[in-house]
Amino acid sequence: MRKKSATILPVRKIGPLSVSAIGLGCMNLSHAYDHIPDEKDAILLLNTALDAGVTLLDTAAIYGGGANERLIAKAVGHRRHEYTLSSKSVLDLIDGKRRLDGRPEAITASLDRSLERLGTDHIDLFYMHRLDKTVPIEESMGALVRAVEAGKIGAIGLSEMSATTIRRAHAVHPIAAVQSEYSPWVRNPDVAVLETCRALRIGFVAFSPVGRGFLTGAMARNDFPPGDIRLTLPRFQSPHFQRNLPLAKAFAALAAGAGITPAQLALAWVLARGPHVVPIPGTRSVEHLRENLFAATLRVSAEVLAEVDSIFTPGAVFGARYQPMMQAQIDTELLPEEL
C-alpha cells in the first residue's frame, strides 16, 4: 500500500484563491467525532499539515463552540502567511445552544467573534454555513459584501446550498466556493451544484470525502462513543449500517487491487470530478494525514474510477444522510431516490 506523503502538493483554484489540491478539515480536532485529541497532538497535526504543503485550513464558529478557531490561532497563528484560512457563520453556538441565524446583524457579530478567536483581522474565505430560510439570501449576502468592503474577509462562500440559492447569491456578489458533503457514497452535488459551480467558475470544496470514515476500510462496527455525530446519522445506525458494510468491503477490495488505500481511492475519485474540486478530509492522525495527502499525486485509472460508480449505484446506500430536523437546514438538492 502506498501511504507516503506528497512533499509538493498540486494547486487548484477556488474562485480567486489558489490552494493545495487537498486541504484540511479541522472540525474533528475539537468536535463531532470519536474523542477530541490532546491539544499538543492537535497542534502537531496542524503544523505537520502545513509542513507537508497544505494551504487550506477549514474551520467554523460552531466547531467546539469556537474552540476550533482558538486552536488554529494557537497552533499555527504564527504561520498565518502560509495558508488560506476559511471559517463559517450563520450556524453558531450561542449561550451553549445551537442557533441558525442568517440576519445581517447576526452574521456581522459572528464574524467579529471569529476574528477575535482566530487572532486575526482578516479571514480569507468566509462561508454562510447553512441557509436560514427565514431570511432572503440577498439580505444575508449584504452583510458579507460589507465585510469584504471593510477588509474583514477576502472572499465569500456558501455551504450546503442548492444551485438556485447559489445563483441568487452569486448575482449579489461573486461566490468563491461552495462547500458540501461529497464522496462516492454522498452524491447530492451531482444533481446540480457541481455543474453550477463549474459553469460560474466557483470552487467546490468537498467535506467528508472519505464518508465520515466509512470509506477508510477500518469501520466494521457502529459502536461509536457518546457524543459522536455518527450516532445521529441514519446510515450509520442499525440496521442501515450493517446493510451498507458490503459496499465498504467492495470499495476496500477495489482499492487494494489498485495498490492504494480506500481513503486514497475516495480522495482520488473526488479529485477526478473536476479541476475546481478540492476535498478537505479531516483526521486526528499524522499517519492518516500523510496517507490522504499522497492521494493528490496519484494517477488512478478511469477504469478503477468507473468501478467506484458501479459499487455506489443509485439507491445502493441504505439510510438517509441526516435526520429530518438536521435535513431541514440543508438546502442542497435531494437525489431522486431520496424524494
Q: Which CATH number fits domain 11-211+274-299: 3.20.20.70, 3.30.830.10, 3.90.420.10, 3.20.20.100?
A: 3.20.20.100
Instruction: Provide the pLDDT for residue 2.
Output: 39
Question: Quick check: 8 pLDDT over 90?
Answer: no
| pLDDT at position 4 | 44
Average pLDDT over the chain, rounded to whole?
96
pLDDT at position 77 is 98
- Strand ranges for 189-321 from DSSP E: 203-207, 277-279
Spatial separation of the C-alpha atoms in residues 269 and 131, rounded to whole Å: 28
- For the chain, the farthest-separated pair of C-alpha atoms sits apart, in whole angstroms, at 53
pLDDT exceeds 70 at position 24? yes
Supply the pLDDT for residue 3: 43
| Burial per residue of 135-168, b for 16 or more beta-carbon CB atoms within 10 angstroms, e otherwise | bebeebbebbeebeeeebbbbbbbbbbbbebbee
Taking the CA atoms of the chain, what radius of gyration do you get in angstroms? 19
- pLDDT (tens digit per residue) in 239-259: 999 999 999 999 999 999 999
C-alpha cell at 321: 444522510
For residue 280, pLDDT over 70 is answered with yes
**pLDDT at residue 96 in the model:** 87
pLDDT tens digit string along 143-161?
999 999 999 999 999 999 9
Question: What is d(CA 125, CA 155) in angstroms, rounded to the nearest whole number?
Answer: 5
Helices (H), 11-161: 39-51, 67-76, 104-118, 137-149
Catalytic residue, chosen from 63, 83, 127, 182, is: 63
Q: What are 119-136's pLDDT values in tens digits?
A: 999 999 999 999 999 999
Mean pLDDT to the nearest integer, 210-233 = 96
Asked whether the predicted pLDDT for residue 5 surpasses 50, the reply is: no
127 is catalytic: no
CA 41 to chain centroid, in Å, comes to 21
Hey, which residues does 186 pair with through a beta bridge? 183
Percentage of the chain lying above the pLDDT 90 cut:
95
Q: Name the residue among 162, 224, 225 with its Cα closest to residue 196.
A: 162
- Mean per-residue pLDDT for 26-31? 95
Confidence (pTM):
0.96
pLDDT digit string, tens, across residues 176-202: 999 999 999 999 999 999 999 999 999
Please name every residue paired with 56 in a beta bridge, in sequence order, or none if there are none: 84
Q: Which long-range contacts (CB under 8 A, 24 or more apart) does 184-187 make?
A: 184/211, 184/215, 184/251, 184/266, 184/269, 184/308, 184/309, 184/311, 184/312, 185/211, 185/214, 185/215, 185/244, 185/247, 185/312, 185/317, 186/211, 186/321, 187/312, 187/335
Confidence grade of residue 328 (pLDDT, cut at 50, 70, 90): very high
Domain spans of the chain, in order of start: 11-211+274-299
pLDDT at 1 over 90: no
What band does 7 get if pLDDT is binned at 50, 70 and 90?
A: low
At residue 64 the predicted structure's pLDDT band, cuts being 50, 70 and 90, is very high
Closest CA to 156 of 87, 207, 61: 87
Say what percent of the chain tops pLDDT 70. 98
123 φ, ψ to 5°? -110, 125
Tens of pLDDT along 68-102? Answer: 999 999 999 999 999 999 999 999 988 889 999 99
Plot region of 69 (φ>0 → left; ψ -120 to 50 → alpha; else → beta) = alpha
